Structures are given as structure tokens and as C-alpha cells.
Amino acid sequence: MRDARCSALGIALLVAASSSPGVAQAPAPAAVKAAMPPAAKPAWTKGIQPLSRESYYHAIECGKLGGAQSPCVFYDADLCKNEDYVLSLYSPYKQVAYEVWLAVTRNQDPPEPSYRGAQQTRVVLGVTPVRGSKNQLAKVAVKRGGKTIAPDTSTLDGGGGNFIFDFPTFAPSATVTLELTGKARTQTCVIAPAVLARFR
């Protein structure tokens, strides 16, 4: 009985010590500043938005340009470079541009992607672990205008995951802070309105 009490007391003291202000905690990495997406033609400065006739035909024209790394399809390749995760964004515009770009790179006639199908697409943030990273992703949130926005749908898989947000979350009218909370540490990326405006 005495041994049990001593063990319980030892655990309690250990917990208290670990939560004490005097105990050093592992510092979080400095926030990453999101990189400006590369310029693409035709130019786009309206950010991610629900599909419209304008953005639909704009995406088709952008996809027709082809190229190994089309900036209208792969604009997010180096968006928030950090030691743990690689990010990718999926949107109605990107869905249309990708279908056209894929056909062009295969020397096929550019298709007319389904307008209705693309209309049903929302904003999907994909998070993939960097090779060798052991910081498994636990959750993702966006901070905007003093509020924290959780994804409408979260799917964790293989140390990363997919997270679905509504369009206003990434509107280019305010700075957005993206928080990628891992089991070991949190990576933070600050995305300025000028960067958000170049999202497609």
C-alpha cells in the first residue's frame, strides 16, 4: 500500500514539474511566410472562388499552355516550405485547368471539362509528409480575422491528410495563418492577401 502511494506521489510530482513555468519546452519553429505563386498567363488575381463562367474559361485557356510544371496547375508547389509537410491546394479552377493541361501534355485535343462537376468542387488542402519527417499530422486549422476556422471535413492518412474548407476561408481580403499541428510540433504559415489573390 505504501509503495502504491509513493508511486502515485512520484507521478503527481512529475506531472507538476513538467507543467511548471520553470521547465523549458521545445520551441515551436518560426512561422513560415508563404511564397508568392509564380506568374502565369492569363493572369489571375481573384483568388480561389466558386466556379463561374469567367473562371471556367480562364482555367481552360491556362491549361492549354501546357508545360512540364504549369504555373496555373502547380502554383502551390513551394507555397509553405517547411521541414515536415508539403502542401497542395485543389479547387474548381485547378480541376478544370488540370484536365486540360493533362490532355495537352499528352498531345491530345483540349477537352471541355464538366462545368457542373467542377462547380461541386470545394477547397481541398492536401498535406503530405516530407520524406523522413516523423511529425505525424494531428489536425489543421486556419486563423483569419481573429477567428479559428476548422475544416468542414478532415481525413488523416499516412502522417498527412486532406482537409475541406469553404471558399471564404481563403478569400484574398485578409491575412490567413495556416496551422499544421503535428504530434511533435506545430508548423505555421502566414499567407498574405497578395499571395491569396494569386491562388486559382
* Domain locations in the chain as residue ranges: 26-198
State the virtual CA torsion across 73, 188, 143, 180 in degrees, nearest 10: 80
Other CB atoms within a 10 A radius of the CB of residue 111 amount to 14
The radius of gyration computed from the CA coordinates of the chain, to the nearest angstrom, equals 22
Predicted pLDDT at 30: 86
Specify whether the backbone of 158 is left (phi greater than 0), alpha (psi in -120 to 50) or beta: left
CB 53 within 8 A of CB 93: no
Per-residue pLDDT of the chain (200 residues; tens, 9 = 90+): 444 444 433 433 333 333 334 433 356 678 999 999 988 889 999 999 999 999 999 999 999 998 888 988 999 989 999 999 999 999 999 999 999 999 999 999 999 999 999 999 999 999 999 999 999 999 999 999 999 999 999 999 999 999 999 999 999 999 999 999 999 999 999 999 999 999 99
Other CB atoms within a 10 A radius of the CB of residue 83 amount to 12
CB 95 within 8 A of CB 118: yes
